[in-house]
Structure 1
């Protein structure tokens, strides 16, 4: 959950806004941490919520009940691919090493032109500022093109993330959002 109550509030807000904007949520299927908060908020507000979890994490992360769909994969690679395939965009909340891993991987896939899906970094209270600075450092060091830093769309609020998602989709095509 992190050590700041405002992160939990942010996750709850995002879940409610996903439902209010007729979007769905694709996420890692856990009931713990911020991903559990956003999933329950989206589910309870009426959004379809699809959980995808590898079998070895099923017991550790305590799979969320009441999901619209639950998929149990053989491993993390299969989970990431399935989450990617079922998502139209990615919203990154504050998180740990798994969140960081998935964010960099999805950025790398975009860099390699494997997708053009929006990647929205929720930099609430500057949580991700060190990551943004690191990416800028990599660009300044000549190890990545400037366009790589632009793969992330940075916002500070759940409302800002939803605004970017709504700008990316037509009203006839509800967005599915992956939480990483």
Structure 2
């Protein structure tokens, strides 16, 4: 029996996949979580054989949210940039598009349990070539802004003046075609640049 943990945002998708997996004779869902910070504790408590996770939920955990447990990431092609860190941080990882059929997820779980590769070639190529228009400094500024830091806090964190941070935010908005900082954050997140 392949013990599986689901770490997916959205009760409908998580519940539907759980039902699909429950119909399989060799797979059982041992836990379901909907927050990235709940993955590690659930892995420690349930000891799954495979974790199926939404990239957006676990992308911030650069050390690998599932530890040594194989991780099957479901990612949208526009968010492929977030895969770069996960590919190097996690020892056993599989990657599938978030729009694949449930049967591909079932097959991916089985393959990862056998320690076989599970890769969506289009997503891997997108991850390797997902360079955005933002400089590394602009990415830092926007990431801190996206986390809710006000201009003054971003300035202190990065050793910049408030005016320089505002200039960066203005340039970022123009580069991504946004009218506001909030819109710039949304566009950058959807494109996988932050």
Q: Give TM-score, length-normalised by structure 2.
A: 0.38
Name the structure, 1 or 2, with higher relative contact order (CA <8 Å, separation 6+).
1
Greater share of helix: 2
